[in-house]
Amino acid sequence: MAFPKHVFLVILFSFLTLLPSSQSQLSADYYKKTCPQFHSIMQRITADKQLSAPTTAAAILRVFFHDCIVDGCDASILIASNALHKSEIDADINLSLAGDAFDLLTRAKTALELECPGVVSCSDILATSARDLVVMVGGPFFKVLLGRKDSKVSDPSIVDSNLPKVNMSMSQALALFSSKGFSAEEMVALVGAHTIGFSHCKEFANRIFNFSKTSDFDPAYNPAFAQGLRKLCANYTKSPEMAAFNDAFTPGKFDNMYYRNLQRGLGLLRSDQAMVMDKLTKPFVDMFAANQTVFFDTFARSMEKLSVYKVKTDKDGEVRRKCDQFNNIQT
């Protein structure tokens, strides 16, 4: 039975009003007329950087997450501090963000400014590069809506309370994600980004050295894995750059091996290993470990959701000329 036209319009309007106003202003073809070479430029710059520096994919994913989950996907994390103002990048938890990510974003922004000056936002560049790099290293494609504006504020004081940490309990991590609208399943899927990249020894040193009076290392570790980490990180206090791959088997490939590792006591970080021990998160770890397609589908859906979290549009933001500087210098 066909609906009367006025009924259809009412239904459509009702659906649209359920969308956040900022999200409804985004579109996949936002730059189709104003910067038609956007996607080809992004793909070229991203591929060149990843091929020359294979850890770039993991670096970009971490910057993207640290930007979005704090106060929305608005490139606030890219702002450099100056003598008068500290920025998010100077929060302690952000100091270890890898330089390859920022180098890629600078290259992309420079190329896009030459092609279509003043058009493409840094937040769109970051979101698109995250998607393109996930695909490049074997992960799923997901839709990235465009039209974000860059923030006019970067406040380091809000970072610490809005980012999950390696020493958090699982209930704390779940509460943090829940406060931002993400379910336990979506949290477990997003943390699956740890299937690529590495962590510095200092992030898990308390699990492998002097863990307790009865054990040198965390008994949740596979013993052989723990001994290997102890050897690798023996001098980490003198060499803080020492690090281990989050996934010891396929560190450069985006797959579900990360979850299979957790089941075998090969989770590098305490917060990661805790997911396989918690009754709320373990079913999702087991599901993703058993079925990579399910993981990919859930990860893609969760990344789409994260990528539009509290985005800025129109007058709420700006299109920065340089990603590390506001267009108007703040005094």
DSSP-assigned letters across all residues of 257-280: HHHHHHHTT--SSHHHHHTTTSTT
Phi-psi region of 247 (alpha: psi -120 to 50; beta: other; left: phi over 0): beta
What's the pLDDT at 60? 98
Q: How confident is the model at residue 82 (pLDDT cuts 50, 70, 90)?
A: confident
> Quick check: 15 pLDDT over 50?
no
What's the pLDDT at 331? 54
* CA distance linking residue 20 with residue 245, whole number of Å: 38
Q: Are 89 and 78 in contact (CB under 8 A)?
A: yes
What's the pLDDT at 84? 85
Task: Please tell me which residue in 6, 39, 66, 194 is annotated as part of the active site.
Answer: 66
Give 308-324 pLDDT, tens digit per residue: 999 999 889 999 999 99
In this prediction the pTM is 0.91
% pLDDT > 70, the chain: 92
| Mean of pLDDT values over 237-261 | 96
Q: How confident is the model at residue 22 (pLDDT cuts 50, 70, 90)?
A: low
Residue 149 pairs with which residues in a beta bridge? 312
| Mean of pLDDT values over 142-156 | 97
Phi-psi region of 110 (alpha: psi -120 to 50; beta: other; left: phi over 0): alpha
> Quick check: 199 pLDDT over 80?
yes
What's the pLDDT at 18? 45
Q: Are 189 and 298 in contact (CB under 8 A)?
A: yes
Residue with tokens 């609208």: 181
% pLDDT > 90, the chain: 89
> Quick check: 291 pLDDT over 90?
yes
Q: Tokens for 43? A: 């793909």
* CA distance linking residue 139 with residue 256, whole number of Å: 10
Residue 81 host element (H or E): none
> Quick check: 149 pLDDT over 70?
yes
Q: Which of 200, 155, 166, 191 is nearest to 303 (CA)?
A: 191
What's the pLDDT at 13? 45
Q: How confident is the model at residue 83 (pLDDT cuts 50, 70, 90)?
A: confident
Respond yes or no: is residue 66 known to be catalytic.
Answer: yes
> Quick check: 8 pLDDT over 50?
no
Q: How confident is the model at residue 12 (pLDDT cuts 50, 70, 90)?
A: very low
| Mean of pLDDT values over 220-225 | 96
Q: How confident is the model at residue 329 (pLDDT cuts 50, 70, 90)?
A: confident
When the pLDDT of each residue in the chain is averaged and rounded to a whole number, the result is 93
* Displacement of CA 113 from its chain's centroid (Å): 25
Instruction: Check residue 326 and report its DSSP letter.
Output: -
* CA distance linking residue 196 with residue 38, whole number of Å: 26
Strand pairing category for 198-200 and 243-245: antiparallel
| Mean of pLDDT values over 235-264 | 96
Q: How confident is the model at residue 256 (pLDDT cuts 50, 70, 90)?
A: very high
Instruction: Check residue 324 and report its DSSP letter.
Output: T
Q: Are 299 and 192 in contact (CB under 8 A)?
A: yes
